[in-house]
Structure 1
Amino acid sequence: MTHSFPRPAPQPPVPAYRSDPAFDAVPERARHRYRPRRLWRSRVVRLGTVSTLLALCGLVILALVREQTGTEGFLVGLGLAMLPVPLLLGAFRWLDRVDPGPWRNLIFAFSWGACAAALVAIIANTFAHRWIATATADPSAADTLGATVIAPVVEESAKAAGVLLLFLFRRRDFGGIVDGVVVAGFTATGFAFTENILYLGNAFGEDQEIGTSGFASVTAATFFVRIVMSPFAHPLFTVLTGIGCGIAALTARRKRVRRAVLPLLGLVLAMGVHALWNGSAALGPWGFYAVYGAFMVPAFGLLTWLAIWTRQRELRTISGELPAYAAAGWISPAEPLALSSMRARGLARSYAARSFGSPAARAVGEYESFATSLAFLRHRARRGAADPDFAAREQELLYHLWQRKEVAGPALTYAARATGRVWTPPPHRDYAGYNPYRS
């Protein structure tokens, strides 16, 4: 009986190294694309249009929230709602340290959630609530149905639109699960920020009417539930959409149905979890705590583990893919192991800063980013998910590595030695042909 095993994916050939490479496939406009970023080098028309639209949405949402909460309530809600934002954004940015995405994408994601998605949600939810209340002549039923059915669909769709825009129009910056988690997390954090202003501002206004204050106030209870217990709720929902987009980005281009279905599946799961969370209040006085303890906390822990595991997998991808370029002579043998360690990366930047100043440290940081993108590009090519311009993109990244090699190479070699990540063969053994990166 014979067994057939799947053939391993073909290794993409590495461009031959020369002492004076020509980089013929790199267009002139791309030769300066990754120099230190300046606003005036970006696409001014697109940036201006998107910024104007988001600013208009922000002004409208500001007016709507202030109208509902009053000026004093708005200021109180704003101050309290800001407390978890740095913590959440910092956690997502930490997760993105291996291959950090451009800040412009993250600023867009947060702004979309806080302005555009929140505006759509307020308008759509208000309209749906009034329609259901009129059709059923039962305001309490409208509240329950709106919270458990309408709100999850509207809010998750509005947030997902921002994630999908980046997935479709910033594909180079959307390479996997971590990118999807980070973009979705920033979008949902922005949305939760605006929503918390509304809830906390209304709670403060209610306290002002009935004269309560302190720990027994509605504001304190709302703050405890939304800011202390569940600041991760909205990010948890929308991250499911981001994971779907991230897996789709890793899927081979020939599997078009799967690439289209995965983001939709993530969106449906986000809606379902959101509906379960909102509907927990209808399960009785202890329903919220039961759902929180039995589902939300374990789900949050599982997704946190998945995100951290995926980040470690990205580091392993770097150590597994870059040796091909080291063997060809594009980078030094020590660099793949140094680049696959966050500690070694930091040491390399510090070494460059001490030796040559901050411009050198910035060049090393850019080198690390380009090398990481190169490893992910090759990894996607081996999985059959590379874009048609793979060769040009590979040469473009090699060009930018070449521009910074003189400074970054010694810094990364120093960092590899300082962290003990330089492989040396033990004596009395023949290691000819052995590749330490594949061990």
Structure 2
Amino acid sequence: MKALTRSGNPDVARALTNIVWLGLERLTQIAVAIVISGLLARYLGPDDFGKWQYANTLLLVIAPITWVCGAEILVPTIVNRTPADTGAVLGSAFVLRMSVSIVALCVTWIWIAAGGTDPMVGLMLAGLAVTMLFREPFIGVVNSWLQSLTYSKPQLIASMAAAIVKAALVFALVRAAAAPSSFGWLWALEAAAISAALVAYYVRRHGGTLGWRFDRALFRHFASAGTVFWLGLICMYLFLKLDRLMLAHRVSFAELGLYSAAQQLNENWIALALMLAQTIAPAFVYRVQDTARLKRNLVRLFAMTAALMIAGAAVLDALAGFIIARVFGPNYAGAADIFRWAVWLSVPAGIEAIGNLVVLKYQAKYVLLAKWLFALAVAFAVNWFAIARIEGYGALIGLAAGYVAAASVNFYYIRFRLRA
């Protein structure tokens, strides 16, 4: 790590150091997620594990509502203002995000109390939903400030430490034969702990005071700016979880548990592979202004990502039975076949992610929104037809169709934007 800081350019040194810490944090999160999934899958059994996964799916569909005033708006605002304005910027963003999060949490709890979902799913979701009070209002705001400094190390260390402690607490609750509904509160505790650590760090860096204050003009700006990006992200996350949302209405929770077990591992594989590819992407996309050079770089990134995904998918396909048995146990043997097919989704997912870098480079917010609306519509249509006939495999086909639809929009935009 020290070798990185000896770079002649301090900005490059900070960026490289950030990349290393980001890689460590992602690897830690992936390892912890796999360990926790294995513990819960074995303890809860396919039926309750399916309910647990469905509760997490519902959270990941609801949570993007709280992502108002995203980092693409907040970070440039911090950078372009004087240090004396930082308290007003962060305080106004905090008030906006906390207000939206409280409303989202209250609506979620009311929906659960009204019997909107299975009682056990509702109990699990009730604890998980509390994370919304901490993730964006506290963690998201402080993390945006850290991003403006190109210094994410405090947030990444806090996240890694909290994840490891959470895994230990999950193990303790499993050993204590805790009620399935109690696990969701560990996720809320993790978010609260990270929030406390980051706020304490911010206070220490600012002379022992928080100094956040509300500014009406900034509040109005944050409430309106970035709306299109916000809607696009909501559509994207709805697309990513649409398979489980629709599958839950067609199969039992036990069958959903098998499908979710396979997808849990697959999503971690995709996240790792994309992280490795995207780590070097900013230098090859965001900072490149020459069109011809950018085209060459994109061809190389597409080829590298495709090769990585295909090679990894082939290995995981061959080892599917062994991996599922080792992580989830013999009760999840039926997930192996789903996993074998699911890993190949990493190929279109990787191609889409690289193409998306160009959309983000040029801040094409309407393209982003149109892309995920299109992908969502295509996936919904395919799921509606295929899930009724081949259940989990139909959901995988829907995901694949959605990824192809999103990638096709990326390619069309790249051809349009980089025409020469």
Output the TM-score relative to the length of structure 2.
Answer: 0.28
Q: Whose RCO is larger (CA < 8 A, sep 6+)?
A: 2
Between structure 1 and structure 2, the one with the greater Rg is 1
TM-score, normalised to structure 1, is 0.27
